[in-house]
Chains A and B, each alone.
Chain A
Amino acid sequence: MVDTLERTTAHEDDHGHGGHEEHHGPGGLLNWLTTTDHKVIGMNYTVTSVVMLLIGGAFAMLIRAQLTVPDGAVVSLSKYNELFTMHGSVMIYLFAGPFAFGGLANYMVPIQIGAPDMAFPRLNAFSYWLYLTGSITMLLGFLTASGAANFGWVGYAPLSNAINSPGAGADLWIGALILTGFSAIFTGVNLVATIFYLRAPGMTMFRMPIFTWNMLVTGILILLAFPVLTAGLVMLYADRHFGTHIYDANGGGSPVLWQHIFWFWGHPEVYILALPFFGMVTEIIPVFSRKPLFGYKGMVFATISIAALSTGVWAHHMFTTGVVLLPFFSFMTYLISIPTGMKFFNWIGSMWGGQVRYTAAMLFAIGFLLTFLVGGITGILLASPPLDFFTHDTYFVVAHFHSVVMALVLGAMAGIYYWYPKMTGRFLNERLGKLQFWLLFLGSMVFVMPGYVLGLQGMPRRMAVYIIDPTWQNLNIVSSIGGFMIGISTLIFAVNVISTIKAPKTAGPNPWDAHTLEWFTTSPPPHHNFYSLPNIKSERPTWDYFHPDAPALVHDDHDPSHVPGGAKVDAK
């Protein structure tokens, strides 16, 4: 165990107060355009992806408005197909992933491991500009004569070929995904290299914050999954324009091949989306319970297992194709539920016996647990092929994965409320935050629950109209009310952020009494992040520094509830 050397003096000599600003050449817009600072890039990613959340959310509002009446209240059949395609695409490709691994991870991971920046700062900047370009490219589809892509966010061949979807919107969609795909790959490279090579002295692998662990595993998953999708998209483009027949059954190709390629990316992608938010929640719950993470190493093991297993479950999206080995993919899917389930007990165990503070961030984290629980349990139902057969492509599946992604949105909000003081020096309003939480959490439940029932009643997904069975209307109206509650919660969030823009910077370095290194430096952190670093002797260096007399970590203790208030074990 090598003790960390204090690096205080060296850093202060290099970057005295205020010195860091001259450091970076031009200021203002040019600085912003040319920056390679991971914090500025992280903020760019965060702001851009939250704008994408608003755009994707606006599509969702239109979709829910359309479904309040059986024959469609708002848009035509073809516009509706564009809307749900772009809703899914914007949320998955342009919000959830980039927000997590481009935004918060980009900002926090280097600071959490005591590094001055990402390993490849210019590549990092390149990632962001690819992402921004890709995002605009995809949305430009709406301005073309034939509209945006309209074949669903999964783009199944041969619906996505040149005959069935001839418009330029489809090409822009493919191009956008290739651009954002490369952006994700470069970010993955950067995260993995940064975490392996730029950790501060003393920051061993098993002292890394769990968010950093999750981002390491996410980075590796990105490198496994995204190149496959990008290659698949290039082949799709070739089918559309260069006369190949890779996904064309009439030319000797295979439409099912697209599904294999897509889901070989798509299932790891589910965890690429989820793991960062697991990580955020795993940071937040222990901090606001004033306890260490329960079962830290088990949690790391669970995360790695999830990643490993996630590469072998893709065909559970294809149970009804009739051409996959059902028992194998069912079995693998059941296996992956075990480490996911373990995490729940890590989270509960971290609250157990603690002092739980109901801050907005913590409420969002608890809301994440409850919403994700619904998505997790229904996922286990879907892992059984006989049960998947009659729920596949119905609203049951829509409700299942919206339970999961609404949990991720709650996790994202937890992360924002937690790290906003660090990134800006300012607090978000807690009262507005709690109001937003209740609207978002209850709205999510009101929105997803009718979907389960509708799916079991036989309502297929991606239906512009449901005149086939108008009795589905009442539940659809309930679901839409939930959707609009989510919409209002988002407006409250926007008001909250805007109202802080000119607020004084009162946060200070460590407002939450947190555990990890980002809370050791100023808010926002200086250029190259630290004036000094504490000794890193556990996975909670900041906590150790501020609580030298706190009770020691406990292994295999008795029932913690028998020791109310704790603190009876001496730190020897």
Chain B
Amino acid sequence: MIRSVNDRSNSFDSGIVHSRTSASSRKGLKWLALVVAPILLSGCQLPGFGITPGVTTSSHKVYKLWQGFMVTGLIVGGFTFLLIIFAAIRYRKRNDEIPRQTQYNTLVEVLYTVIPTLIVAALFYFTIVVENPEVALSTNPQATVKVVAFQWGWRFSYPGNPKVNVVGQTTQNPELVMPVDETTRVILTSLDVVHGFYIKDFNFSQYALPGVTNRFDFHVTKAGEFQTQCTQICGLYHSLMYFKVKTIPAAQYHQCLTSATSGDSFVACANGTSSLKATIRPTATQGAPVHHG
């Protein structure tokens, strides 16, 4: 099918005498299979290529997927990069002769179609393996938080205790609290425009969309504080729409949530300051969350 009308050469022997390109491509394939598969499966000793394993069960899997993709990308990209440089330098102009007018080489063409297909099939497979559990919803999450984004702040409310509402805008930096070693359901929406709910250390983000309620689960594995902010352009103060995520032991979380009388007291309790002094926020410079209820 891919035969030039001008082709006059005899291609009979081409099946026997392979070109160097095709041989090296096949060697490259074996190499890829040998290198990539174990990396995608284990991947622990590899560098993080710019990201961390994060603090949720999903973020760990995403981290390994990222490592596998980066290694594959560097091999494929590096191979292609070297081929380009090699061809440009090795075949630089030497004289005025007209070179062989090679137009087609079926074997090479088949190889550079089939090998990328196999590579992306593998990438797609591993994508699905990580993606399905990441977006799956638990049947009975132990904690639930409703997140409402607005211009230019966040409201975190907890169905477990209707008195707990944490609201803050711009650099007031409202705090979202989650338990460790339990599954937290996040119910996310927006009051006005599209916002980006992004937590770097969870290796995750989702849009907060007006008129749409998104649900997803986190299973946090580590206590800590994680500063973040809105990622989707949402108007004038987009670059100042901060929030903070605090993850605390599950027992403390449930104790704080049950005993809290307001958003402030809940956040204070989660931060280990006395719930009796809940009206005084420890990080006063960042502004105190506003009470609701």
Contacts and interface: CB of A to CB of B under 8 A. Distances in A.
The answer to whether A and B assemble together is yes
Interface of A: 1, 77-78, 81, 151-152, 156, 158-159, 164, 206, 249-250, 253-256, 289-298, 320-323, 326-327, 330-331, 334-335, 337-338, 341-342, 344-345, 347-349, 351-358, 366, 369-370, 373-374, 377-378, 380-381, 383-387, 389-390, 392-394, 452-453, 456-458, 460-469, 537-538, 547, 550-561, 563, 565-569, 572
A555 B93 contact: no
Interface string B95-121: 111111111111111001100110011
Contact of A567 (B17, B87, B100, B207): B100
B112 A342 contact: yes
Nearest to A397: B231
B240 A465 contact: yes
A442 B70 CA distance: 23
Contacts of B139: none
Nearest to B105: A556
Interface of B: 1-9, 11, 14, 17, 19-21, 49-51, 58, 61-62, 65-66, 69-70, 73, 76-77, 80-81, 83-84, 87-88, 90-109, 112-113, 116-117, 120-121, 123-124, 127-128, 130-131, 134-135, 151, 188, 192-194, 196, 198, 200, 202-207, 209-212, 214, 216, 227-240, 242
7 contacts: A292-B102, A294-B105, A322-B188, A384-B123, A461-B233, A555-B3, A557-B19
B116 A341 contact: yes
A81 B99 CA distance: 54
A412 to B, nearest CB: 19
Given A464-B239, A563-B100, A81 B87 contact: no
Nearest to A341: B116
B73 A377 contact: yes
Contacts of A462: 233, 238-239
Contacts of B236: 77-78, 81
Nearest to A302: B113
A392 B91 contact: no
Contacts of B11: 555-556
A359 B170 CA distance: 53
Given A351-B88, A555-B4, A558-B19, A389 B200 contact: no
Given A77-B239, A355-B98, A560-B100, 20 more contacts: A81-B238, A158-B192, A159-B235, A295-B2, A296-B104, A298-B113, A321-B214, A323-B214, A352-B102, A353-B102, A355-B92, A370-B81, A380-B120, A387-B69, A389-B206, A460-B231, A462-B238, A555-B105, A556-B106, A557-B105
B193 A352 contact: no
Contacts of B207: 320-322
B108 A291 contact: no
Contacts of A326: 131, 135
Contacts of A538: 4-6
Nearest to B99: A566
Nearest to B134: A386
B87 A351 contact: yes
A559 B14 CA distance: 10
Contact of A289 (B51, B91, B231): B91
Contacts of A1: 5
Contact of B94 (A334, A355, A387, A561): A355
A534 to B, nearest CB: 15
B107 A460 contact: no
A438 to B, nearest CB: 15
A151 B236 CA distance: 9
Given A255-B209, A386-B134, A463-B239, A569 B100 contact: yes
B109 A298 contact: yes
A337 B91 contact: no
B101 A453 contact: no
List 4 tightest A-B contacts by C-beta distance, closest first. Answer: A249-B211, A566-B100, A456-B50, A556-B11
A159 to B, nearest CB: 4
Contacts of B216: 322
Contacts of A345: 108-109, 112
Contacts of B198: 390, 392-394, 458, 460
